[in-house]
A and B are shown apart, each in its own frame.
Chain A
Amino acid sequence: MSTAEALVTADGTPLKVSLARATRRSKIRALMLVVPLFVFILITFFIPIGDMLLRSFQNELVGDILPKTVKALENWDESSGELPDETVFTAMAEDFKVAAENKTIGKVGLRLNYEKSGFSSLFRKSGRRAKKLEPPYKEAFLEIDKKWNDLEYWRIFKRESAKFTKSYYLAALDVGYDEAGNIAMKPEEKQIYLNLFLRTLKLSLLITALCIILAYPVSYLLSTLPANKSNLLLILVLLPFWTSLLVRTTSWIALLQQEGVLNDLFVWLGIVSDDGRLAMIHNQTGTIIAMTHILLPFMILPLYSVMKTIPPSYMRAARSLGATPLTAFVRVYMPNTVAGIGAGSILVFILAIGYYITPALVGGTEGTLISNLIAYHLSTSLNWGLAAALGTILLGLVLFLYLMYDKIVGIDNMKLG
């Protein structure tokens, strides 16, 4: 419209342009304020996590350390049923001499040992004698170790010399390669991770549910008591929250173990006999009790802050319109607290799904979670690729559940305070 075009500011620039300029400036200013936090999160969070996730399929090690062998192996047909020819062994002898000099040969052995037992000593042994190797190399290698005569080792060697690997993800899903090199479920006595993922999900959901049940009355009390009493109660909620996680976990051990406080009390009261003391720790019960207690404040606090904003007049209005106390509570009060339940549940559930110190200490064998295995592969077995694959799957699982939650409940419904 012509009237809109006619609008100009005092210095003659069109109003539209001037407005755009002003908002852009304030946008840039806002952005500048966010930059430090953004850079911080990028460096300390996204880059390390991204780098770790890449390890779940990156597999450059073998090709970097034994380049000639990997190239020569490309021409070997693994389905031929025959060992690679002398050219591969010659390339390997050259690579091994360099790698033994650089002390990198053991790394390859450790990497391939994840796929099959025996690679570690095979490479260490061959590397040690690499300097003295003389042609014909095939015989020389076979003389060092008869495993070089085994086609399965060669198949794995070739498969894992590719730049990218599936093997970590397969292992994380209890799938592996059989002796012929086909992908198949692992034998039952070696299946671990799928069960653990399921158990982690189940326990996290159960703990979240328990937290809701326990936190709801406490939060209600907190939000309805007069200030002086509710403050005291709030301190009681926060005090354990501020106490060290390890202290709280070990206290549960002292309370729940068979010669512990609770069992002593039960025996004294005659609820259980001295021989029939309850096993409440080093099993799932222990994990559930300790984690519910530790995560409870994460449910109480959002619930409390939401309940605090519900005016008491709502309930009075419902009652005066003829609702019974129960109806008024269910139909008026509860729907108003959904936002708090949602926020608390997400907090508790996501924390629970990644918990590992508490289950490690009180969980025994049936109460450990997937994060315990991730920690184990990071710090003990040093199979970082597998740890990364497990972590990526867990991350994907959480994101998927988050999207489901958004679809069903709606993330806008969440309220932290």
Chain B
Amino acid sequence: MFHKKTLATITISAALAATSFSASAETEMVVVSWGGAYTNSQQKAYHEPYMAENSDIKIINDDSAAEAVAKLRAMNEAGNVTWSLVDAVASDAIRLCDEGLAEEIDFDTVLAAAPDGTPATEDFGELIVSDCFIPQIVYSTTFGYRTDLVGDNPPASIADVFDLEKIPGKRALEKRPIGNLEWALLADGVPVEEVYDTLETEEGLDRAFAKLDTIKDQVIWWEKGAQTPQLLADGEVVMGSTYNGRLFSVIEEEKQPIAMMWDWQVFDLDGWIVPKGAPHMEEVMKYLKFATDTQRLADQAKYISYGPARASSAPMVGQHADLGIDMAPHMPTNPENAKNTLLYNYEWWADNRDDLDERFQAWLAQ
């Protein structure tokens, strides 16, 4: 097909132009991640120590993780993959694995064992949700609220998010069905074990949407993680869901009058995938062994408040590198915060996402 060739020519010439500037002997690995504070935490915890030990490797950060799945598919069609390593959320990783766009990983040979000798598969445990996906962090989508706007009655449970009488005012929720439907059912009194079975039925789905209907005109829907902290800081909403790391920085670093409500925080995973046909495969595997070991995962938590994915890293989490505060209480995995938690049922969403996205979009437009 002609489009493959043209695309390939364009990417090849672009790649040639790029390499002609750096004709040195070192290997350049393009690592794709989310940019901002997150890439910074990886740079400090993984990239810099690794490059200090391996002077022949140069790691180049590319901040386009948000479009990574679409771009990887285009690169694959053009037959020219230029990325060595990509940071992806678990659901995207599963999808990339399904499409054959990511390499399968033999966890126990590629990854380092824990310091006490526990093999990697056991150390990561049930967080290995795909054969292609090496988890790095556990992050959660949870609620922040304005302490000065809720009075003496701060939100304490997910039901309060749907309670306009107890807490009047606007809320920010993510513009997608994932998470919101689960929360709606939990707030409506469905036990957590039955959430996905309930969503499976037409009545259950109607029930979830009906619960969302009760607050629909008081919701501002966000698409980017930075929106909720901004809306909270401006006082546009009294509470809103976002990633816990974003809330940490707006509370602890910017000292805004905001507090966390951890009830039924939704866990999600973020980690590495190796694109199929990635350049410098051997070096990438060496790098992965280093960057996902127990110490490195614990180090990352010094720079950002996301929980390390290895069980063995948890006791090693220390203090924030700049603020000097203990990071453990800010981890979503901290027992105090993790009384009620939900881990996405990835398999279920992979099946139902297309259908429910459509229904959700239509519901929004009504």
Contact = CB atoms under 8 A, between A and B. Distances in A.
Contact of A106 (B69, B99, B221, B365): B99
Interface residues of B, number: 39
B354 A117 contact: yes
Contacts of A118: 351-352
B197 interface: no
Interface in B307-366: 347, 350-359, 361-366
B130 to A, nearest CB: 10
A192 B362 CA distance: 5
A196 interface: yes
Given A48-B3, A117-B351, A103 B100 contact: yes
Secondary structure type dominating chain B contacts? helix
B98 A106 contact: yes
Given A121-B350, A365-B364, A190 B97 contact: no
A4 to B, nearest CB: 49
A179 B235 CA distance: 48
A249 to B, nearest CB: 13
A379 B67 contact: yes
A364 interface: yes
A190 B100 contact: no
A257 interface: yes
Interface stretch (A18-26, A107-115, A408-416): A107-115
Nearest to B358: A190
B100 A104 contact: yes
B21 interface: no
A259 B235 contact: yes
A373 B104 CA distance: 32
B6 interface: yes
B234 interface: yes
Interface in A366-387: 366, 368, 373, 378-379, 381-383
Contacts of A365: 221, 364-365
A106 B351 contact: no
Contacts of A381: 353-354, 357
B64 to A, nearest CB: 11
Interface residues of A, number: 42
A43 B10 contact: yes
Interface string A272-283: 000000000010
A195 B363 CA distance: 12
A366 B220 CA distance: 11
Nearest to B349: A120
Nearest to A383: B354
Task: Give the most central of B67, B353, B365: most A CB within 10 Å.
Answer: B365
A383 B351 CA distance: 14
Given A107-B99, A109-B98, A118-B351, A51 B365 contact: no
A382 B234 contact: no
Nearest to B356: A117
Contacts of A192: 358, 361-362, 365
A110 B99 contact: yes
Contacts of A47: 2-3, 6
8 contacts: A43-B6, A110-B98, A114-B354, A119-B351, A124-B350, A192-B361, A257-B236, A382-B69
> What 3 A-B pairs have minimum CB-CB distances, sorted nearest first?
A106-B98, A103-B100, A51-B3
Interface of B: 2-3, 6, 10, 66-67, 69-70, 73, 95, 97-100, 104, 170, 220-221, 223, 234-236, 347, 350-359, 361-366
Interface of A: 43, 47-48, 51, 102-104, 106-107, 109-110, 113-114, 116-121, 124, 189-192, 195-196, 257-260, 282, 360, 364-366, 368, 373, 378-379, 381-383
Given A118-B351, A382-B73, A382-B95, 7 more contacts: A121-B347, A189-B366, A260-B234, A282-B221, A366-B365, A379-B70, A382-B70
